[in-house]
Structure 1
């Protein structure tokens, strides 16, 4: 707060001080007006996007002749909801609130108990009381959980099969047989082939897109190679299909 003792006694200095205060006040008002305008625009965009989502949902549950294809509906909702999230972020940036003013939000979807928990403790550096200097003791804690992901990691399984010979007769060579593979002489493990199958048939990810994903990791696999793996796996899975 500005006190009387802080005011300069010289007239010119006082005039310059007053002009500076006016400039600062004008800048603050302009910034506040810009924030208000940005918030208003964000609110209008959110309202517009929400109306689009409502229209999509009416098509979903409307008369059969008005219903959209389920895949088209999901793609449309995905794009609109992405834009809605961007508009909400813009509104929050335009009207920042203090921690105590923010509405408490729960996770959108509970996090399964079986997932691994990696804990990190964010603690104060100085455990001395800022008022009296006494030692602080813990009286509670705030715990927040966020969903994290470890990107898919590829690895190479190296199979070694030692060969043994006899020094006495020098005619016998003993070696363990090679384990059976779905693709004899090929590079994929059964786990990798299963991943390709799940991505193709459960997640509807075409093989050429899967090949692009592998290429980003420096693994060059043609679509035709992946298709060959899928075909061979399908042959081995025939008993399950015919059961």
Structure 2
């Protein structure tokens, strides 16, 4: 900057200097705005038309004549966030026919010679062996009618003597829906099809019609409502167990709710709560809106660690209860990833530092809590210190409203919660588990579009809790639901623990399925 003595005394020259400075300043502002607009447009295009994963094949850059950047992409950290290994568009398959699973039923079909006479001498040929080949066949699922025959008895002597014949009828086992049409297996099939396989009821209606059986979708809605009410005590038990966890993962997503008299659906919310390894259940809860009353009510009385996003509705839980906030490094990383379009250099620096944290987590994945904590204290804490120094330095020089400033501000505001995971061996570095748990809700609403009302959405949340917890324990949800729906109606509340998915798997999974 020029000093006062260096400035000319000519008024016209001073005017020209002022005008030039204004033009340069306006050009800098215009460039910054243009950069921000380009970044916003690129982010929108990537969201709607780009790949869902935050990964790319560096070799594809050669298609556009661009040079691959020096630092390699950390594929392992991306796989950690996605929750599954990344594959190419054309996965390689093993050549040749694969061995069919041994658990499938084998049906022998024998093929014999029509003419066993020897073409040379005419004598009958003897059998010396057989060639066996296997073919996979599909037998469509079928509906069957169970006829409950309840025999009645009376006393002939009393009836002959003119007294009360004391008629008695054999009792029928309790059914999921009293005097209802569906058996436990059919009810479990409808529930698993809609909420597990995301199949709308109108499609199920067409599937049943192919077997010349008409079951209206409104009827199936009523069946699911009865099933949800039936398992409510079991969901309450699972909720109680999850609240006893040392750490809970939680997140929420939108569920469209049909609004009578309006062409548009209103937005309800489904929340998921994941218990720890000692309480391995996933419980869903529904609220008509996203107010803080929902998580505050569900988490009432809970003490421990709560891992969630930066939603302000959890602040009351952190401040009024003995609950420690644990933030998500995947959320922080995603903001730096989105800032690449406007500030690639800084974004890559941040992503490289975060990748070091995930490298430690991969190494500690199979270790016990004590070893994991020691590894984090030894290797992750120094990296966290470097990230904090980098954030403090870069915050002073980035444009205030740029995507990079947004990413840095988010990490700075969440810093204490972002570092909490390194203080305990049982905590996770991110909240991806709960995000994956909500994928079933997102997939479902793309198929059945909306819930009819708040009660239906609450019912979906209960049944999702059972299906998600089953899948967490690698249990067939339909088999589990069939067993639970057949027995839970006649089971005392104090014995409901046998229907918890882990207990059911350990004690009852080997039992034959009761079709009565």
How far is the alpha carbon of 1:165 from its aligned partner? 3.2
User: Of 123, 134, 153, which residue of structure 2 is paired with 1:145?
Assistant: 134
| Partner deviation per Cα, 1:81-134 (whole Å, 9 max, x = no partner) | xxxxxxxxxxxxxxxxxxxxxxxx743x43222222111122222222223434
User: Of 59, 63, 74, which residue of structure 1 is paired with 2:56?
Assistant: 63
How far is the alpha carbon of 1:189 from its aligned partner? 0.7
What's the secondary structure of 1:204's corresponding residue?
A: coil
In structure 2, do the counterparts of structure 1 residues 136 and 206 end up closer, same or farther at CA, with 3 Å as the change threshold?
same
In structure 2, do the counterparts of structure 1 residues 177 and 140 end up closer, same or farther at CA, with 3 Å as the change threshold?
closer
Give the aligned partner of residue 185 of structure 1: 179
Give the aligned partner of residue 224 of structure 1: 218
| Partner deviation per Cα, 1:44-77 (whole Å, 9 max, x = no partner) | xxxxxxxxxxxxxx9979529x9xxx9xxxxxx9
In structure 2, do the counterparts of structure 1 residues 162 and 61 end up closer, same or farther at CA, with 3 Å as the change threshold?
same
In structure 2, do the counterparts of structure 1 residues 135 and 239 end up closer, same or farther at CA, with 3 Å as the change threshold?
same
CA distance in 1, matches of 2:221, 2:122: 70
1:133 to 2:133 alignment: no
1:172 to 2:166 alignment: yes
How far is the alpha carbon of 1:192 from its aligned partner? 0.9
CA distance in 1, matches of 2:101, 2:54: 31
Give the aligned partner of residue 208 of structure 1: 202
How far is the alpha carbon of 1:182 from its aligned partner? 1.7
How far is the alpha carbon of 1:215 from its aligned partner? 1.4
In structure 2, do the counterparts of structure 1 residues 176 and 122 end up closer, same or farther at CA, with 3 Å as the change threshold?
closer
In structure 2, do the counterparts of structure 1 residues 141 and 174 end up closer, same or farther at CA, with 3 Å as the change threshold?
closer
In structure 2, do the counterparts of structure 1 residues 127 and 224 end up closer, same or farther at CA, with 3 Å as the change threshold?
same
Give the aligned partner of residue 93 of structure 1: none
How far is the alpha carbon of 1:214 from its aligned partner? 1.1
How far is the alpha carbon of 1:139 from its aligned partner? 3.7
Give the aligned partner of residue 152 of structure 2: 163
In structure 2, do the counterparts of structure 1 residues 148 and 60 end up closer, same or farther at CA, with 3 Å as the change threshold?
farther
Give the aligned partner of residue 275 of structure 2: none
Moved over 4 A (4+): 58-62
Q: When the two structures are superposed, what TM-score results if normalisation uses the length of structure 1?
A: 0.52
What's the secondary structure of 1:130's corresponding residue?
A: coil
CA distance in 2, matches of 1:155, 1:60: 45
Give the aligned partner of residue 99 of structure 2: 110
What's the secondary structure of 1:211's corresponding residue?
A: helix
CA distance in 2, matches of 1:119, 1:165: 50
| Partner deviation per Cα, 1:144-179 (whole Å, 9 max, x = no partner) | 101112222211111122333341412633223343
What's the secondary structure of 2:190's corresponding residue?
A: helix
1:120 to 2:109 alignment: yes
| Partner deviation per Cα, 1:2-34 (whole Å, 9 max, x = no partner) | xxxxxxxxxxxxxxxxxxxxxxxxxxxxxxxxx
Indicate the structure whose relative CO is greater, using CA pairs within 8 Å and at least 6 residues apart.
Answer: 2
Q: When the two structures are superposed, what TM-score results if normalisation uses the length of structure 2?
A: 0.26
In structure 2, do the counterparts of structure 1 residues 138 and 60 end up closer, same or farther at CA, with 3 Å as the change threshold?
farther
In structure 2, do the counterparts of structure 1 residues 113 and 61 end up closer, same or farther at CA, with 3 Å as the change threshold?
farther
What's the secondary structure of 2:218's corresponding residue?
A: helix
CA distance in 1, matches of 2:218, 2:203: 12
What's the secondary structure of 2:178's corresponding residue?
A: coil
In structure 2, do the counterparts of structure 1 residues 160 and 130 end up closer, same or farther at CA, with 3 Å as the change threshold?
same
In structure 2, do the counterparts of structure 1 residues 110 and 205 end up closer, same or farther at CA, with 3 Å as the change threshold?
farther
How far is the alpha carbon of 1:224 from its aligned partner? 1.0
In structure 2, do the counterparts of structure 1 residues 189 and 131 end up closer, same or farther at CA, with 3 Å as the change threshold?
same
CA distance in 2, matches of 1:196, 1:111: 29
